[in-house]
Amino acid sequence: MPTATTSLLTLPAFRDAQTRIRGVAMHTPLVRIFVPGLEDAEIWVKAEGLQPIGSFKLRGAYNKIAQLTPEQRSRGVITYSSGNHAQGVAYAARAVGAKAVIVMPASAPAVKKRATAALGAEIVEVGPASSDRKSKAEGLEAAHGYVMIPPYDDDQIIAGQGTCGLEILEDLPDADLILSPVSGGGLLSGIATAVKLSRAATRVIGVEPELAADAHESFISGQLVTWPAEMTTRTLCDGLRTQSLGERNFEHIRTYVDDIITVTESEIRAAMRTLLYSARLTPEPSGSASAAGLIFHFRQLLPFRKAVIVMSGGNVEPQVLQSVLAEDSNS
């Protein structure tokens, strides 16, 4: 639990963020799907892949950047990201007329790098470890005076991502279970805090690849742990390869999240097919983790009547999607 000196976000922070991002980030729809074995329950997908940048990351990035002073905007912004936050920062910076510099792993999906560059951002490539890009970005921040826009470990980022949870309850007020992917923890901590402060009875569960399960280990142990890059980079989910939860994210997660479960790579790939065939949504692997959690582990999540799966993004490499779909045709 947080210490007495720790100040967690309150509901007004999420309400303010919701007002701030309106007209920039989309209020994405809930799409109903049917899951075998759950015929008596309603299962909905929060389709964040329909955001202008193809992921939820625009919420937090714009909430943060929109609050910069004119002097800060004139200095330009910098961040580090495997792809989706990169696009969110690039999009938000362009909206306010600020320069954006993005440190990305050279191994980031080409579709994400192209989209980030198309939004006018300057891209700096580094190695595959999340620690590599964070260190490089901090060095450039110090050298050039850029303003850092963290990908997750920041209250304004958390507040922006949490608006996703507010929308879920607006559209489905009696939702009793929400599943969110977890990497650095911005989305999960934001959704859980906003939802629990609005409807305490709703359970919020994080879902993580078992090949990059640092958040699950942290949650179970009660201590923030870090996994080496050679372990987290094994998962197909390029957006969930962060080596550790953010400190602020962990504080909120320990307080408001009910559990974190893990899923296998094959379950993630099968969930991608389910979202495509049943919901007519095109997910990226990271965006399919929560669907995998519900589809393959629903028995450990019972009881629930109305569940929401957060499909966090849809920026999938064509080759990856082709491979995943080919598995189905060959089975």
> Is it the case that residue 242 has pLDDT exceeding 90?
no
pLDDT for res 330: 56
Predicted structure pTM score = 0.94
Nearest to 131 by CA among 230, 206, 60, 64: 230
For 180-229, the pLDDT digits (tens) are 999 999 999 999 999 999 999 999 999 999 999 999 999 999 999 999 98
Domain boundaries, the chain: 11-55+155-330, 58-148
pLDDT of 275 reads: 96
34-51 tens-digit pLDDT: 999 999 999 999 999 999
Is the distance from CB of 296 to CB of 309 less than 8 angstroms? no
Task: Say if residue 252's pLDDT is above 90.
Answer: yes
Fold of 58-148: Rossmann fold (3.40.50)
- Residues 135-191: tens digit of each pLDDT: 999 999 999 999 999 999 999 999 999 999 999 999 999 999 999 999 999 999 999
Q: Matching CATH topology for 11-55+155-330 and 58-148? A: yes
- H helices within 184-309, ranges in order? 186-198, 214-221, 229-232, 247-256, 265-279, 289-301
Report which residue type is found at 131: S
pLDDT digits (tens, 9 = 90+) for 64-118: 999 999 999 999 999 998 789 999 999 999 999 999 999 998 888 888 899 999 9
pLDDT value for 6: 65
Residue with tokens 């934001």: 190
The reported pLDDT for the residue numbered 3 is 41
Among candidate residues 229, 93, 189, the one with its CA nearest the CA of residue 149: 93
Q: Is the pLDDT of residue 4 over 50?
A: no
3-state SS, residue 13:
helix
CATH assignment of 11-55+155-330, among 3.40.50.620, 3.40.50.1970, 3.40.50.1100, 3.40.1190.20: 3.40.50.1100
